[in-house]
Structure 1
Amino acid sequence: MPESRFPRWVYGRGSEPDARFSLANERTFLAWVRTALALIAGGVALEALSLPIHPGLRLAAALVLLGLGLVVPLLGWFNWGLVERAMRDQRPLPASLVGLPVAVGVTVVAVLLVLGVLLR
């Protein structure tokens, strides 16, 4: 029964889409989870390895990576639901909510690290 599936805001409407598209949507969500794990690992590594980078900028970069690692799975899950719901309602797919924050965050980290190397 669709009414008993979680989350109800996704499955409680429309008709069942082709399973291949739903599974592709799920794989995209899981790719964002893997990306979040890599962001978290990068943030931990920056501090754990004590690289020769300006300490304040290194910490800032690590915190940005950890923050992204926290936010990306949540945005990925919400985006998964919006895409699944659009498929169920036979509407055009929405734009990704995750790409821009990741691109901006990684760019900020790169700038912090470049400055950290130059100012050490």
Structure 2
Amino acid sequence: MWAMIRRWFDPDEVRSVGTTPDYRFSLANERTFLAWLRTALALVGGGLAVAQFLPEHRLRVVIAVSLLALGGLVALRAIDHWARSERAMRLGEALPPSRFPAILALVVTIGAGALLVATLL
């Protein structure tokens, strides 16, 4: 666990294995990471908006906390995926598969339905 977290914060840890890949691939990996961070920030912003603007209702708190927690989870997932992908590229391995985008899409769909219900109540 600590080795994984250390990889997130220590660039030398990532560079300690394999060979340097084509910079275009590393930069594409970084752009993907930044896209995930934008998604995380949008979820956090959505959670704050729900907390502030939906009428007083128990569902409001559930949706707001869920969006805030999901935003944090997406940010953590982004850094983990970046580090695992960078390591795989350096070692010439296949990029790590991920079900996370599909899971996130389902969770966002369910959340949108809950927001619709909360807004109509």
- TM-score bracket for the superposition, by shorter chain length: 0.7 to 0.9
From 15, 19, 27, the counterpart of 2:19: 15
By how many angstroms is 1:115 displaced?
Answer: 3.0
* C-alpha deviation, 1:55, in angstroms: 1.1
The answer to whether the aligner puts 1:35 opposite 2:39 as a matched pair is yes
Distance 1:116 1:100 in 2: 24
What runs of 5+ residues in structure 2 fail to find an aligned partner? 1-9
Moved more, 105-114 or 17-26: 105-114
Q: How far apart are 1:99 and its partner, in Å?
A: 1.2
**Alignment match, 1:112:** 114
Displacement of 1:7 = 5.2
Query: How far 1:45 sits from its partner (Å)?
Result: 0.4
Name structure 1 gaps, 5 residues minimum.
none
Decide which moves more: 26-35 or 97-106. 97-106
Q: TM-score, normalised by structure 2?
A: 0.82
Displacement of 1:97 in angstroms is: 5.7
- Distance of aligned partners of 1:37 and 1:7 in 2 relative to their CA distance in 1, 3 Å threshold: farther
The residue that corresponds to 1:6 in the other structure is 11
Q: Which residue matches 1:25?
A: 29
| CA spacing shift, 1:73–1:40, aligned 2, 3 Å | same
Deviations 1:28-80 (A, max 9, x none): 0011111111100000001111x24x711121111111001111111100000
- Name the aligned partner's letter for residue 79 of structure 1: H
Q: CA deviation at 1:117?
A: 3.7
Aligned-pair identity in percent equals 46
Amino acid of the residue matched to residue 61 of structure 2? L
Higher helix proportion (structure 1 or 2): 2
What's the TM-score, normalizing by structure 1?
A: 0.82
Correspondence for 1:73:
75
**Letter of the 2:48 counterpart:** V
